[in-house]
Structures are given as C-alpha cells and as structure tokens.
Structure 1
Amino acid sequence: MHVKIAAVRASAHRIPTVLPIVGTPAGGSVRVVCEVETEDGLVGVGMTARFLPLGVVAVIEKHLAPAVMGLDPRDLEAIHARLQALTSERGQTLGVNTAAVSALDLALWDLIGKAHGRTVAQLLGGRADHAECYVTFGFGAFDRDQLVEVARGLAAEQGHTGFKMLVGVAPNIGEDAARVRHVRDALGDDAVLAVDANESLSIDQATRLARLIEDCDIAWFEDPVWRNDPRDMARLRRATSIPLAAGQMDGHSSRFRQFIEGDAIDIFLPNSLFNGGMTETRRVAALAQIYDKPLSDAGGGGIYCLHHVAGFRNGTLAETHLGVEQVERAMFRAAPEPSGGRLAVPPGPGFGVELDRDVLKDTLITD
C-alpha cells in the first residue's frame, strides 16, 4: 500500500447520555474525532474527549496535521519526535496539546492495524481476544437503594460481576462510607467492588474513608486525593490495605514513574484518550510489567482502552461506563457489548469499529 499520510481531519461532537432511573446526564458525552487518511484512501480513526473540544480540533488541524503530512504512519517514534517539538518546548506535554496528540496517535494505530489486518490488541502483543470488565455505575445522582437497583440490573442484563462507584459525592465521608457498605451488603461477597474519588478528597478525608470501608473488601481506591499528589498517595497507601489506582487523566509514563518512585500505587490505569495515545500507553504498560503491577483502565476510554487491557500480559480489567457505552453505541456501528462480565475485542482490524457518519453529522459541535 501507499503508506504516506495524505490528509488529517478533526471534528467535535456531543452525544446526549442519561442515567437509568433518575434521568440525569450520565457524563462522557463530548468526543473529538481525528481521522488520518493515506494516499490509497485507508482511514484510521482516533479520539479524545471532554475538555475544550474545539481547541483540540484546532490544534490537530492547524498544527499537528501539517507536521505529519507525507510521513509513514508506521514510523511512530519519528512522528512523535516531530510532534514533541510542536506541543512542548521542554518537559511534559499537557492539556489540550496532549489530547490532540492522543487522538492523532490513536488514529495512527487504527490505520496500522487496518494496513496489516490485525487488531490493535494483536499489535500490542495479542494476549487475548477479550478482557474481563467492570462497570462504572455508582454515580452521586443515585441514592442508596437506587445504587443497588442499578447494580442488580447490570448483573442480570449484562452479567457484570465487577462494579465501581463514586465516592466524595455524598454530603460527608460518613455517608460515602454508608453508600459503599449498602452496595457491598446487597451484592454479596463474590462481587468485585471498587471506589473512585475522582481526585476530590483531601488526604485526611481519603484516609478516613479508607478506614471506614476497609472491611468491605474494596478491590481498589481510584484517584483518591487532590491532583493525585504522589506524596499524599504514598501516605494513604501506608495507611490502608486497600490497593490504590490512578492514571486516567494524566497517565503518561513520567507520571507513573513518579508513583513508582514514591511507592504510591498498586494498579496502573492509563487512558489512551488523554495520555498521548497508544504509543504512550505502550510505554506505561512496559513500566507496569517491569514493576509487576497490574494494568487496567479507567476514565471512559471505552473501545480504545479495551485493546491495551487485552493486548498486554499484565492486563486485568477493562472499564465499561454507563455514559460511555451510550456514546459508543451512538457513534459506532456494532460497538462491542459486555456479556458475561467480559468484553470481546472486535474482530475487525485496527480498533475494529466503524463510525456512523449520520450520527457524526447530527452531533457536530460548531461553537
């Protein structure tokens, strides 16, 4: 094939989502789509989400696209060397710049997979054609009994045995703990139950909450403290037996190195939509393997992050998310659905999904 990059396109989209029972938005509704096309018409699709979407579109189209035009999409290190010079004069690329690089990089991986007839999971190592999964369901909009109702419904309809609920959403830490305990009592001892504070708690609040729920067999405590400060993470890790997990929003390799050096983390949760793409997640996965840490994902990476969990031998659980599932069902034709507590890697090459062009037209953000 002719493998030179001939065109790069980007667009922003908003897809409405809704939580069951309460009818409020389920989050995860904004996506930036990046498409990279080669001279022979092969197209790879990447994505990022959430923040300043029109700014990300502008960065991709006005700055990154001219830099990669005419390059071979398989030359990832050469491409990233060129992008690094544009997105950060020195140090770590951050913010809108990282989001734009993430979307472009994922499109390149999709393109490479399509060119070689392999899934991205296979390109990463091909450990499995599926991943066990958990579902993020426990939003603050639900009261205690609604949490149980939703969890039981997900177990019955999709076979979920792993669940994640948000903490730091109640009026006080005591009520957060009571919500967790109510769900644990209802689901029984066999269910996997994790909690996620979305970096909303002080170190003192997180320590108190961990002590209150420590006997609930919590699989991990995710993003527990403000800014995931490695020093506070390390303090919390020494104070609790609950494993700590992080990385969904700033999970680049340098950040995980800080967590490792501070002895502050148990589970790696990179998200390729936000950390610089699958090229950066591959570095994170290697670091996780070196330090014998399990590799999962979080933060609504969806179909894209499924591939790194399935691809690497230290991959554990892939995240499904009540909001992200709705977005992907709308944006993609035949998006994978959880069944029996697992997600199958779509058999098609690349990331294995096809955009619904009609939905893209209807959801376009222009201002």
Structure 2
Amino acid sequence: MNKRRHFLKNSLMVAGALSAAPAFASEQMLNQVQPKLQSSVKDALQYINIKDIEIIKLKGDKKTPKTWNAIKTSGGKEPTATYLKITTDQGITGYTMTKGNKDDIVKYAKKIKGLNLLHTEKVWHHMFFHNRKPVAKGKEIHAIGSVDLCVWDIVGKALGLPVHTVLGTHKEQVLAYAAGGYYAEGKTASDLAKEMESYVKEGFKYVKIKVGFLDAREDAERIRTVAKAIGTDARIMVDANNGYKTAADAIRFGRMVEDLDLYWFEEPVAPDDWRGNAEVREALDIPIVAGENEYTRWGARDLVENHSCDIVNIDTIKGGGLTEMKKIAALCSAYHVGIAPHGYAHMNIHAVASIPNAMILETYPAKSRDFNPFLEPFPVKNGYVDVPTQPGLGMDIAPEILKKYRVG
C-alpha cells in the first residue's frame, strides 16, 4: 500500500473513531488517537517528487464549424487538446491541459525535479527565477503556468481534496457565462439571437458575443437583436478581442449599445494600449475588461495602475498558473478591481471558487461538446455551477477518451 493510500485509510479510520466516540470520551482516549492522526499526516505529506513527465495529445474525430472573431479565424478542423502528465515517486499522477510549446513545458517540469512539490511557492519561484537567461516571458510563462497547474493537481490528490479547498474555498457555487457569439458564414443577427436563447434555456444568465469585425453600426444591431430576444432573462457581454484600432473606434461602438446594461466590454483595443483602454473606460458606462494577453502579477499591476480596466481577465495558464493567479487577485483586490480568469473552465473554477474578488467563470455551452469530447461540461443551474468535489483539479483523462482520441 503506497503512502497516500495508507494516509487516507488511517485518517478515515481515526476520523470514524472520533465521530463514534461518546460526548464524555476521556481526555486520555483523545490523547491516544490524535498522535496517530498527526503521525499519518506527517508520514504521507513529507515529500512528493517528480518521477516521470509525459505530454499527451488528443484529437477529435469531428470538424468544428469555421468561425471567427475580430482578429482570428478558428475551427474548420478536428479539435485537439494537449495534456501534461506528471507521475510522482509516491504513485500520484497529475494531469492538466497546457498552452505553449511542449518542449518548453517539459523543460520547466524537468527544472523542478528533485524539489518537494508540496512547496508550491518554492517550485514556482524556481521555475521563474532559476537560471534566468533568457528572462521568462511570453510562451515560457505559458509553460510555467502549465506545470504549476499540474503540480496543484498533484497536491490536491495527495491531500485527498479539491484544489479550491486546498487554496481555501470562498464559494461553493460560482457564476458562469456562456462564451460564444462568433461570426460565421451566412450567420444573421436572428441566428445569433437564437444561439443566445439556447444558452439561456441551458441555464446561463450571462452570455458573451464577439464584436469588432463588422462596422460599429452592424455590430450594434446584432447586439440589439439579441437583447430584444432574451430580454431580462440574461445579461450580455461583448468581446472585441483587441479588434478596434483606436480608442475612438471602440467608444463609437460602445455608445451605440451603452443603454443595454451590458455586463462588460472585453478587450476593446490593443493589449498593450493601456492609455487607450483607460480612455474607453473613462468615456463609457460599461465595465471594461482587459488582461487576457498579459502575464504575471507585474502585467496586472501595469493594467490597474494605469486605470485601464474595471476587471482583469488574465489567463490562468498564460498568467503563470494558480500560484501566480493568487498574487494577481490579491494585487487587484487592493485596488478594488475584480478578476474573471480567461481560459479553461475546469482549471479556472478552482481560482474563481477560492478567490473572493473573482466574479464569474468563463465556460462553453454543452453543445460545444458535440465536437470536443475531451471534458464534460459543467451543469448550469440558474446561472451557477457547483464547484468540483473530487481530489485535485478534476482533469484526469477518462480511459475510453485516451484510447479513442490519443494521437501523440
């Protein structure tokens, strides 16, 4: 029996003994039981080390519809997913989805071989600061974030707890929104409204629509058509994906829809145009979101100190992982700025559940699983999803999915 199973078995037996003990149980009995529990915890959680590192690639068997936002075309081919799998000497296996170059991910995972994975701050610091040539930027941060999340999956499994519980749960249900509303060939404003109505029927109270590709008046008409169709059943978010060339262009569009009580206006201008974001924020009565293309706490600092946004949506992986997201959220809270992490919902839910100033979870509607079968959607009830209860992140690949879709 490995150390983790030994620890969990002993812990449950001791917990059962304590719960079964009568109210008048003697102090002597408690003194005999408690050291056993403490010894089991110490024995199981002393040291966790990396044994093996593996990159797993999955590919679906159905082509997704071809769609686009203001700056990028996607779809039209089979979806893929790349996982990092880390196996430890203690028999615990961690999984997470990744972003960035697989060679970089393996390089950063190898950097922390020999470190105790339970020391999450030390592990992150070692990846980011050790042998800093070149300085970790861009896709290297994606790799660090990918490894960090896998480490947290291992830590949660070692403790037998969901990661949000290890971090400190703040919410047992989290608000969620349906990310959709992409442009597509022949897609009319009426088609867009029907799409958003289907998300509302699924249980979402917040829906997101892409803007910035068409002329401002055409996009405004799309948004008004949806607003009329869904009424007060849900609130609309708009996402320009940095599509407006100037703050003036973004403001022009924003004023055309300002009366619709939009939940937010995401990434109106270029990601490094802090002044432009601040101008849009100053001009409109719509909360402005930015940060999806920023990195680490230092990127968040630049956004909030330049008054660039009301909400920071740094991507959990691209931002440096959960270890760094905690720092980003703390920094934002000092400025009374909310966060809404961008990216994979099955990892972000642990951030949103454990961070007090985290506002809402980005996720995709169940229909998207018609083409992407790798992860089950979260059931949505009255706008909320329940936080996970299984140990770790809940990112393990089902054996049948691995067998059917693995390509690398």
Tell me the TM-score normalised to structure 2 length: 0.79
2:394 to 334, 352, 363: 352
Partner of residue 192, structure 2? 147
Is 1:222 the counterpart of 2:266? The answer is: yes
CA distance in 2: counterparts of 1:283 and 1:164, whole angstroms:
27
CA distance in 2: counterparts of 1:26 and 1:212, whole angstroms:
32
1:274 to 282, 300, 318: 318
The Cα shift of 1:222 comes to 0.5
The Cα shift of 1:31 comes to 2.8
The Cα shift of 1:352 comes to 2.5
1:161 to 200, 205, 212: 205
CA distance in 1: counterparts of 2:76 and 2:178, whole angstroms:
13
Tell me the percent identity: 26
The Cα shift of 1:225 comes to 0.5
Partner of residue 113, structure 1? 156
The Cα shift of 1:249 comes to 3.1
CA distance in 1: counterparts of 2:84 and 2:182, whole angstroms:
30
Is 1:331 the counterpart of 2:331? The answer is: no
The Cα shift of 1:328 comes to 10
SS in 2 for 1:82: helix
Which AA in structure 1 matches 2:250? A
**1:2-32 deviation digits (Å, cap 9, x = unpaired):** 51221222233344563599xx938994432
Partner of residue 76, structure 1? 120
CA distance in 1: counterparts of 2:80 and 2:293, whole angstroms:
15
The answer to whether the 8 A contact 2:267-2:290 is kept is yes
The answer to whether the 8 A contact 2:364-2:377 is kept is no
CA distance in 2: counterparts of 1:214 and 1:33, whole angstroms:
41
CA distance in 1: counterparts of 2:63 and 2:369, whole angstroms:
6
Aligned residues: 354
CA distance in 2: counterparts of 1:152 and 1:286, whole angstroms:
36
CA distance in 1: counterparts of 2:78 and 2:298, whole angstroms:
26
SS in 1 for 2:54: strand
Once structures 1 and 2 are overlaid, which stretch shifts more, 336-345 or 318-327?
Answer: 318-327
Gap change, CA 1:27 and 1:180, over 3 Å in 2: farther
- The alignment's C-alpha RMSD in Å is 2.7
Which AA in structure 2 matches 1:99? H
Gap change, CA 1:17 and 1:339, over 3 Å in 2: farther
The answer to whether the 8 A contact 1:13-1:31 is kept is yes
The Cα shift of 1:286 comes to 0.7
CA distance in 1: counterparts of 2:352 and 2:371, whole angstroms:
18
**1:167-209 deviation digits (Å, cap 9, x = unpaired):** 0132x12111111111111111352111001111122221111
The answer to whether the 8 A contact 1:307-1:345 is kept is yes
The answer to whether the 8 A contact 2:59-2:78 is kept is no
Which AA in structure 2 matches 1:155? V
SS in 2 for 1:227: coil
Partner of residue 10, structure 1? 55
Give the 5 Å matches for 1:179-194.
Answer: 179-194=222-237
**Unaligned segments of structure 1, at least 5 residues:** none
**1:255-301 deviation digits (Å, cap 9, x = unpaired):** 11111111111012122122111111111111122112222223x32
CA distance in 1: counterparts of 2:368 and 2:171, whole angstroms:
22
**Unaligned segments of structure 2, at least 5 residues:** 1-43, 68-73
Q: Which has the larger radius of gyration?
A: 2
Is 1:97 the counterpart of 2:140? The answer is: yes
Partner of residue 318, structure 1? 361
The answer to whether the 8 A contact 1:247-1:269 is kept is yes
Runs (4 or more) in structure 1 with deviation over 6 Å come to: none
The Cα shift of 1:348 comes to 0.2
Gap change, CA 1:32 and 1:327, over 3 Å in 2: farther
The answer to whether the 8 A contact 1:302-1:324 is kept is no
Which AA in structure 1 matches 2:239? D
1:41 to 82, 91, 103: 91
Which AA in structure 2 matches 1:118? L
2:338 to 271, 294, 299: 294
